Amino acid sequence: GQQVMQIPQYQHVQEGEDFTTYCNSSTTLSNIQWYKQRPGGHPVFLIQLVKSGEVKKQKRLTFQFGEAKKNSSLHITATQTTDVGTYFCAGNAGNMLTFGGGTRLMVKP
Amino acid sequence: GAVVSQHPSRVICKSGTSVKIECRSLDFQATTMFWYRQFPKQSLMLMATSNEGSKATYEQGVEKDKFLINHASLTLSTLTVTSAHPEDSSFYICSASRGRIYEQYFGPGTRLTVT
């Protein structure tokens, strides 16, 4: 079945440093979604990427979808303490959405 | 984004009893609703997918007779944990979507503790 791997599992950064999480799918995706879950909260939809090679930005967050539509990344520039949380990617293939394991970001002030 | 509510937010029940959790999409019609289970500091484990008016599709390893799902309308889905046991204690989260390929809007979750 479809598998979505996400790395790293955990990341500690100093406030102001950059952060990147990577998502890799075993199958070609029709689209990929990114979610953020704050500690004690529920996942919140951030963005959806559909096109091969697509790049989207939301303020300090940059999302990329690979040319082969099998991988994606989320990059945060100059992290802030408000960025703390777990970031999940979710890949859509064959009408099935599969979540990655998430990357837990911790930011030291 | 769309708003999804979940009730109750926390519930403590005795072993052997049943618990019903409600998931409502408040400002859009959710063709599809999903039920997840999440263990501490872990990812979301999809339990089942339900479409309004039809039977839920359960993921492999999820007992359909234990986790009863009803999607009676485009705004309401319920999950009933029957004959609950301590190992059923977990965080249960629902999400609502216009369809399987669209983004999902998550409810705030229900913390179930079975004593």
- Map chain B to HEC letters: CCCEEEECCEEEECCCCCEEEEEEECCCCCCEEEEEEECCCCCEEEEEEEECCCCCEECCCCCCCCEEEEEEECCEEEEEECCCCHHHCEEEEEEEECCCCCCCEECCCEEEEEC
B103 pLDDT band, cuts 50/70/90, is: confident
How far away is chain B from the Cα of A95, in angstroms, using its nearest Cα?
6
- Answer with the residue of higher pLDDT: A96 or A9: A9
pLDDT at B1: 67
Question: What's the pLDDT tens digit per position in B47-92?
Answer: 999 988 888 999 989 999 999 999 888 899 999 999 999 999 999 9
Q: Is A43's CB within 8 Å of B1's CB?
A: no
Place of tokens 């995706």: A29
pLDDT at B100: 72
Q: Is A43's CB within 8 Å of B106's CB?
A: yes
B40 has a chain A CB within 8 A of its CB: no
A42 has a chain B CB within 8 A of its CB: yes
pLDDT at A91: 93
Report chain A residues whose CB lies below 8 A from the CB of B106.
35, 42-45
State yes or no: pLDDT of A13 exceeds 80: yes
CA pair distance B94, B24, nearest whole angstrom: 9
Of A30, A42, A101, which is closest to B43 when you measure between CB atoms?
A: A101
Question: What's the pLDDT tens digit per position in B25-54?
Answer: 999 889 899 999 998 888 889 999 998 888
Q: Provide φ and ψ at B50, rounded to 5°.
A: -125, 140
User: What DSSP line would sit under A13-55, residue for residue?
Assistant: EETT--EEEEEEESS--SEEEEEEE-TTS--EEEEEE-STT-E
Amino acid identity of residue A13, one-letter, is V
> H/E element holding A107?
strand A103-108
Q: What is the mean pLDDT of residues A8-14?
A: 96
pLDDT at B34: 94
HSE-up (13 A, CA, CB side) for residue B30: 30
pLDDT at B55: 86
Query: Would you say the C-alpha torsion B46, B50, B51, B54 has a positive or negative sign?
Result: positive
Question: What's the pLDDT tens digit per position in A63-92?
Answer: 999 999 999 999 999 999 999 999 999 999
Q: What is the mean pLDDT of residues B1-17?
A: 94
In a mutational test of the A interface, the residue from B101, B106, B111 whose CB has the highest number of chain A CBs within 10 Å is B101
CA pair distance A52, A98, nearest whole angstrom: 19
B81 has a chain A CB within 8 A of its CB: no
DSSP tag of A9: S
CA pair distance B75, B80, nearest whole angstrom: 17
